[in-house]
Chains A and B, each alone.
Chain A
Amino acid sequence: MYTQALDLPQQNPEGRPPSLAENPAWQAEFDAKIDAGGFIEPKDWMPEAYRKTLVRQISQHAHSEIVGMLPEGNWISRAPTLKRKAILLAKVQDEGGHGLYLYAAAETLGVSRDKLTDALLSGRAKYSSIFNYPTLSWADVGVIGWLVDGAAIMNQIPLCKCSYGPYARAMVRICKEESFHQRQGFDALLQLMQGTEAQREMVQDAVNRWWWPSIMMFGPHDSDSTHTGQNTRWGIKRISNDDLRQKFIDATVKQAEVLGVTLPDPELKWNEQRGHYDFGRIDWEEFWNVVNGHGQCNVDRLAARRKAWDDGAWVREAAMAHADKAARRAQAAA
């Protein structure tokens, strides 16, 4: 789910070298296809820069899903009812599934999942910085569903029509599954808001902590965004960061009223002229600090992923060893 302007600079994971040299005729054919709103498929010729950008964007997206399992996963063992436990587990599992669909889409561009995983675990690859914030109470689970998944859905719907076929198809599947995520979050919060004072305080506190990071998820202002122009030309990015952010804020204010919580921005108010809500200044210094590794959980999140990967090495190895042995035995018996 969680794309945020997935064009953050990073070192590219190694991929295959361009199989075909850059060629003006192919380039023209490629451009015409893109301009006509067509799709590029895995084995079609594509400019190397397009391929690299896609690998970076899709893999950042996949990493975000996988790291995104951790903050909410933090509450599975402590979910307050069995129904909520099942919902949360299914949701976190979905995120794993989304990561899997996306790695598969990236693999069609000639990079292996192991290479992409290595880029994540070594710290070269980026993932959505929202997951470097801690989940401190049960209400955080609801607020992540409502705000973080809500922002992610806004970001992702345009990607269902992106120009790269496998990515677009993965996004269609993901978006279908995603709306349950936002709705379960809102539902959990509604229940809390009808509960005790302590429960309502829990919700307000979570909203206070997650609001600004959520609207940062749309990425830097268009004026400061590095790749926007080229990515829009390529049909990998359809709507600008600022437009999506505005759309999200406009939709969320009403939802906050229904819920009975206050969004922590005193400058948030309806602007009749613009037909949109005005909002306060985003603290970009915080955003870049967290992106660059200085959020509360950056170190812990990566450590958890590395531990899972390293502890699982013997399992992955054993399964391959057994498959090889079984194949040899079958051959010997034949």
Chain B
Amino acid sequence: MERKEWPLWEVFVRSRNGLDHKHCGSVHAPDARLALQVARDVYTRRQEGVSIWVVQADHIVASDPDAKPELFDPAEDKIYRHPTFYKLPDEVNHM
């Protein structure tokens, strides 16, 4: 029997305006229209969203977990990028 599984789509939901879309799970669907509809049926049954993105999972390019050291460790010592690095006089420290 010929069997071709429906592609997997990743689902991102904006819970309310002013917030980012956030990954919340995935669905299987044959096309983008149905992916959006079932993402709505599966992930917003309790008013969890005001906007949905679906992206075919194959189309997501992810960083390699084994490359974590070269990607993310170099930021570790750039502590001068953080506001707390700078000690200012109390009178202006709310700056």
Contact in complex: A170, B25 (CB < 8 Å): yes
Contact in complex: A107, B65 (CB < 8 Å): no
Residue of B nearest to A102 (CB): B25
**What residues of chain A lie closer than 8 Å to B6, measured between beta carbons?**
316, 319-320
Residue A113 is within 8 A (CB to CB) of chain B in the complex: yes
Contact in complex: B30, A100 (CB < 8 Å): no
Q: Quote the shortest CB–CB distance from A180 to chain B (angstroms).
A: 9
Residue of A nearest to B29 (CB): A319
Contact in complex: B65, A114 (CB < 8 Å): no
Residue A285 is within 8 A (CB to CB) of chain B in the complex: no
**Cβ 8 A contact of A43, one of B28, B31, B64:** B64
The A interface is mostly helix, strand or loop, or mixed, namely helix
Residue B62 is within 8 A (CB to CB) of chain A in the complex: yes
Q: How many angstroms from the CA of A101 to the CA of B4 in the assembled complex?
A: 21
Q: How many angstroms from the CA of A167 to the CA of B84 in the assembled complex?
A: 36
Q: How many angstroms from the CA of A326 to the CA of B30 in the assembled complex?
A: 11
Q: Quote the shortest CB–CB distance from B7 to chain A (angstroms).
A: 9
Residue A8 is within 8 A (CB to CB) of chain B in the complex: no
Q: How many angstroms from the CA of A45 to the CA of B31 in the assembled complex?
A: 32
Contact in complex: B65, A320 (CB < 8 Å): no
**What residues of chain B lie closer than 8 Å to A113, measured between beta carbons?**
5, 28
Q: Quote the shortest CB–CB distance from A69 to chain B (angstroms).
A: 14
Q: How many angstroms from the CA of A319 to the CA of B30 in the assembled complex?
A: 6
Contact in complex: B65, A41 (CB < 8 Å): yes
**Cβ 8 A contact of A112, one of B2, B5, B27:** B5
Contact in complex: B25, A104 (CB < 8 Å): yes
Contact in complex: B45, A317 (CB < 8 Å): no
- 0/1 interface trace, chain B 18-33, chain A, CB 8 Å (1 if under): 0000001111101100
B window 49-83: CB within 8 A of A: 62, 64-66
Q: Quote the shortest CB–CB distance from B63 to chain A (angstroms).
A: 9
Residue of A nearest to B63 (CB): A43
Q: Would A317 and B28 be within 8 Å (CB), given that A44-B65, A107-B8 are in contact?
A: no
Contact in complex: A97, B2 (CB < 8 Å): no
Q: How many angstroms from the CA of A41 to the CA of B68 in the assembled complex?
A: 13
Contact in complex: A322, B30 (CB < 8 Å): yes
Contact in complex: B27, A43 (CB < 8 Å): no
Residue A323 is within 8 A (CB to CB) of chain B in the complex: yes
Q: How many angstroms from the CA of A316 to the CA of B4 in the assembled complex?
A: 9
**What residues of chain B lie closer than 8 Å to A90, measured between beta carbons?**
45
Contact in complex: B62, A317 (CB < 8 Å): no
**What residues of chain A lie closer than 8 Å to B8, measured between beta carbons?**
104, 107
Q: How many angstroms from the CA of A108 to the CA of B30 in the assembled complex?
A: 19
Residue A177 is within 8 A (CB to CB) of chain B in the complex: yes
Q: How many angstroms from the CA of A97 to the CA of B5 in the assembled complex?
A: 19
Contact in complex: B3, A114 (CB < 8 Å): yes
Contact in complex: A320, B28 (CB < 8 Å): no
Besides A107-B8, A323-B30, 19 more A-B contacts (Cβ < 8 Å) are A43-B62, A43-B65, A45-B66, A93-B45, A94-B45, A100-B27, A101-B25, A104-B26, A107-B26, A112-B5, A113-B28, A170-B25, A173-B24, A313-B1, A316-B6, A316-B30, A319-B6, A319-B30, A322-B30
19 A–B contacts, CB within 8 A, in A order: A41-B65, A43-B62, A43-B64, A45-B65, A90-B45, A94-B45, A100-B42, A101-B25, A104-B25, A104-B26, A107-B8, A107-B26, A114-B3, A114-B5, A170-B25, A317-B3, A320-B6, A322-B31, A323-B31
**Chain A to chain B: the 8 pairs with minimum beta-carbon distance, closest first:** A319-B30, A323-B30, A104-B26, A323-B31, A43-B65, A114-B5, A320-B30, A44-B65
